[in-house]
Amino acid sequence: MPPPEPRTLFDKLWDANLVEPERADAPAILYVGLHLVHEVTSPQAFAELNQRDLRVRRPDRTYATLDHSTPTLPPAASGARTYVTAAAAAQVDQLRANCERHGVRLADWDSHDRGVVHVMAPELGLTQPGMVVVCGDSHTATHGAFGALAFGIGTSEVAHVLATQCLLQRKPKQMRVTVDGRLGPGVSAKDLTLAVVNRIGFGGGSGHVIEYAGDAIRVLGMEGRMTLCNMSIEAGARAGMIAPDETTFAYLRGRRHAPEDFEAAVAKWRAFVTDDGARFDSEIQIDAATISPMATFGTTPDASIAIGAPTPSARDDSERQALHYMGFAAGAPTTDHAIDVVFVGSCTNGRLTDLRDAAAVLRGRRVKEGVRMLVVPGSESVKQQAEAEGLDRVFIDAGAEWRLPGCSMCIAMNGDFVGAGQLAVSTSNRNFEGRQGKGARTILASPATAAASAVTGKLTDPRAFLEAAHA
C-alpha cells in the first residue's frame, strides 16, 4: 500500500467533520461542533426556524451570550440597564425569548459566564481542538487558536446551523504563515498580528484559511494565539488556526466544559497537526525578531508601520483618502498627533494578559489630561480576575474608566463611541472609517502601546515605559 498522502491540520479538521463530501453540483456538508450565538446576528435566524416550525437541533452544542449592543455602564438605581436605544434592549429581549423557546443556554446579565463571545467560549472550555466552531461574527477565527476550524457565518447560515447543526461549504485554499525567531522584549502578540496582516495584505488571504506555524507561534500563550487568529479576517482569510500542543491542553485542563475523560481527548487531539510534506497553496515566512511595536496609520488594518516610522506615501486614491481621513501626512511619523481616546478591550485584546500588559505601563502613572481612556474587560471572568489582582485600581487610579464586559468601542453600537474627528488608539481589530463612531479616527495597537499613549497623549512605543519599570 502506498503511504498515505501527508495532510494539513486543515485537511484533518475538514475530513473529521465531513458529513458529505463536496461534489461538482453541491457543496460539502460540514458538521458544527460548537455554535456560538449573540443578540445581533441571530434574531432573523430564529425567526426563520419559528416560521418553519423547526427546532434547534442541538441546544447542547449551542451557546448564546450578550455582548455587542449591551451597555458597559452599571444599571441605574432602579436596576434598569442603560441601553443605547429601545431597539437594542428589544434585541436582547428577543435573544432571551429565542433561547428560552429552544432550550439554548444563554449567558445573561446575571451570569458569571457572560462576555464577548470569542473571549467567553474558550474560558468555559467550550472551544476544543478538532471541532468546527461557527458564529454569526467574522472574528470567530479566534477559536482557531485551539486547533479548531473556526469561521464567521451570515445569518442565513446561522439558521442552517440552528436547524441542522450543519453548513454547506466549499473547500477553501490553504496558506501557511511560518513565524520563526523570537519577538523582542516588549513586543507583543498584537504587534506580531499587525505585522502578519500587513505582510499578507488586506484581502491577501481571500479564499484561504491560514495555518500559523513556527517557533514564534509555539512560544505564544493561548491568549496571544487567540489575538493572532482573531485578526485572520483582517487579512481576508475566513479562518486562522494553530495546531494544538501542550500549551493548548494545559489551558483546557479543568475548564468547566472540557471533556470528562481529558487524557483520552488529548490523545485524539494530538493527531490534529500538519504532516511533514503536506502542501499549501501559498507559504509566507516571517522573522519575529524584525518586528517592533506596530500601529496602523490608515483605514484598513493592513496599513501599519513600526511606531515612530514615517507614514508611507499613498499609492492610489483609496490610500490618499485614508491619509486624508486620518489627517496624517506622508513622510511624517504619526506620533506627533494628540490622542483623544484610548480603548483597551475587544475580542482581540480584552483578556487578562492584555489588561496586565496595559496595567504594567499605567501602574503609578496618570492618563494625560484631556485623554479619555476606557478599559473594558472581555468577560465577567476577566473582570473578576483583574479585580482580584487589583488591576481595576491601577486603571481607576490612573484616571481611566473601568467598565462592564462587552464589545463596547470596538463596534460602537452600545453607546460607547469615539466622537467625530477624534483620534483613538484602540486595541480592537478594525480601523475602518466610522467603525468606532461616525467620523472617528482609529489607530490599532497593542494594550501596552495603548496604555503608553494614554500617558503621553500621543502614540507611543511602550518599550521605554517597560524598561523603566524593570530598571
Residues that bind another protein (CB under 8 A): 19-20, 24-27, 29, 31, 40-41, 43-44, 47-48, 52, 54, 57, 68-69, 84-85, 87-88, 90-91, 94, 136-138, 152-157, 159-160, 163-166, 168, 170, 172, 202-203, 206-207, 233, 236, 238, 300, 316-318, 321, 411-413, 420, 430, 432-435, 438-439
How near is the Cβ of 28 to another protein at its closest, in Å? 10
Residue 113 makes contact with ligand SF4 by CB under 6 A: no
Q: Which of 407, 418, 425, 440 binds ligand SF4 (CB under 6 A)?
A: 407
Q: Which of 8, 304, 414, 428 binds ligand SF4 (CB under 6 A)?
A: 428
For residue 94, the partner it binds in another protein, ligand SF4, none, with Cβ less than 5 to 8 A by kind, is another protein
Q: At what angle do helices 189-200 and 447-456 cross, to 10 degrees?
A: 100
Nearest to 431 by CA among 328, 340, 300, 304: 300
How near is the Cβ of 350 to ligand SF4 at its closest, in Å? 7
Nearer to another protein, 5 or 15 (CB): 15
For residue 44, the partner it binds in another protein, ligand SF4, none, with Cβ less than 5 to 8 A by kind, is another protein
Q: At what angle do helices 155-164 and 43-52 cross, to 10 degrees?
A: 50
How near is the Cβ of 118 to another protein at its closest, in Å? 13
For residue 428, the partner it binds in ligand SF4, another protein, none, with Cβ less than 5 to 8 A by kind, is ligand SF4
For residue 323, the partner it binds in another protein, ligand SF4, none, with Cβ less than 5 to 8 A by kind, is none
Nearer to ligand SF4, 216 or 424 (CB): 424
For residue 346, the partner it binds in ligand SF4, another protein, none, with Cβ less than 5 to 8 A by kind, is ligand SF4
Three-state secondary structure of the chain: CCCCCCCCHHHHHHHHCEEECCECCECEEEECCEEEEECCCCHHHHHHHHHHCCCCCCHHHEEEECCCCCCCCCCCCCCCCCCCCHHHHHHHHHHHHHHHHHCCEEECCCCCCCECHHHHHHHCCCCCCCCEEEECCHHHHHHHHHCCEEEECCHHHHHHHHHHCEEEECCCEEEEEEEECCCCCCCCHHHHHHHHHHHHCCCCCCCEEEEEECHHHHCCCHHHHHHHHHHHHHHCCCEEECCCCHHHHHHHCCCCCCCCCHHHHHHHHCCCCCCCCCCCCEEEEEEHHHCCCEEECCCCCCCEEECCCECCCCCCHHHHHHHHHHCCCCCCEHHHCECCEEEECHHHHCCHHHHHHHHHHHCCCCCCCCCEEEECCCEHHHHHHHHHCCHHHHHHHHCCEECCCCCHHHCCCCCCCCCCCCEEEECCCCCCCCCCCCCCEEEECCHHHHHHHHHHCECCCCHHHHHHHHC
Nearer to another protein, 110 or 316 (CB): 316
Task: Classify residue 98 by burial, with Cβ atoms within 10 Å: 0-12, 13-18, 19+.
Answer: buried
The whole-angstrom separation of Cα 437 and Cα 434 is 5
Binding-site residue total for ligand SF4 (CB under 6 A)?
A: 14
List Cα–Cα distances, 450 to 68, 228, 344, 371, 465, in angstroms: 22, 18, 7, 12, 12
Residue 65 makes contact with ligand SF4 by CB under 6 A: no
How near is the Cβ of 279 to ligand SF4 at its closest, in Å? 32
For residue 312, the partner it binds in ligand SF4, another protein, none, with Cβ less than 5 to 8 A by kind, is none
Nearer to ligand SF4, 65 or 188 (CB): 65
Nearer to ligand SF4, 57 or 435 (CB): 435
How near is the Cβ of 439 to another protein at its closest, in Å? 6
The span of 76-84, 103-111, 113-121, 292-300 binding ligand SF4 (CB under 6 A) equals 113-121
Residue 220 makes contact with ligand SF4 by CB under 6 A: no
Nearer to ligand SF4, 136 or 333 (CB): 136
Task: Decide if 417 contacts 152 (C-beta within 8 A).
Answer: no
How near is the Cβ of 25 to another protein at its closest, in Å? 5
Residue 411 makes contact with ligand SF4 by CB under 6 A: yes
Nearest to 197 by CA among 344, 295, 303, 285: 303
For the window 115-154, what string marks contact with ligand SF4 as x by the rule CB under 6 A?
-xxx------------------x-x---------------
For residue 116, the partner it binds in ligand SF4, another protein, none, with Cβ less than 5 to 8 A by kind, is ligand SF4
How near is the Cβ of 249 to another protein at its closest, in Å? 21
Nearer to another protein, 54 or 258 (CB): 54
Which positions from 332 through 351 interact with ligand SF4, judged by CB under 6 A? 346-347
Nearer to ligand SF4, 124 or 411 (CB): 411
Residue 429, C-alpha cell as written in the block: 481589530
Q: Which residues are at the interface with ligand SF4 (CB under 6 A)? A: 67-68, 116-118, 137, 139, 346-347, 407, 410-411, 428-429
